[in-house]
């Protein structure tokens, strides 16, 4: 299994546009994006950093996770 997974990783083509779309437009977490690509969350976070895809702050992440609109005071 580890050899098969390593072979898959070499062939893995992570599109920055797809990562950006899943993460920002569809509201996926980095972990959900990783499951979509069948890879590790750290791989997604590295790719986001490499392609300058900003991460959500804690408030944005919480709103995305719970499907909440922004709270205006």
Mean pLDDT of 8-18: 75
Angle 41-50/30-37 helices, nearest 10 degrees? Answer: 110
Q: pTM for the full model?
A: 0.71
Between the two ends of the chain, the Cα-to-Cα distance in Å is 52
User: Residue with structure tokens 């950093």?
Assistant: 49
Q: What whole-number distance in Å separates Cα of residue 5 and Cα of residue 25? A: 29
Q: Where are the alpha helices (DSSP H) in the chain?
A: 2-11, 16-20, 30-37, 41-50, 58-66
pLDDT tens by residue, 28-59:
999 999 999 889 999 999 999 999 999 998 88
């Amino acid at each position: 299994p580890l050899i098969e997974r390593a072979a898959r990783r070499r062939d893995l083509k992570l599109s920055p546009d797809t990562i950006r779309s899943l993460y920002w437009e569809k509201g996926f977490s980095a972990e959900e994006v990783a499951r979509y690509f069948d890879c590790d969350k750290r791989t997604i976070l590295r790719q986001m950093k490499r392609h300058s895809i900003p991460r959500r702050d804690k408030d944005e992440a919480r709103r995305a996770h719970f499907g909440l609109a922004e709270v205006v005071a």
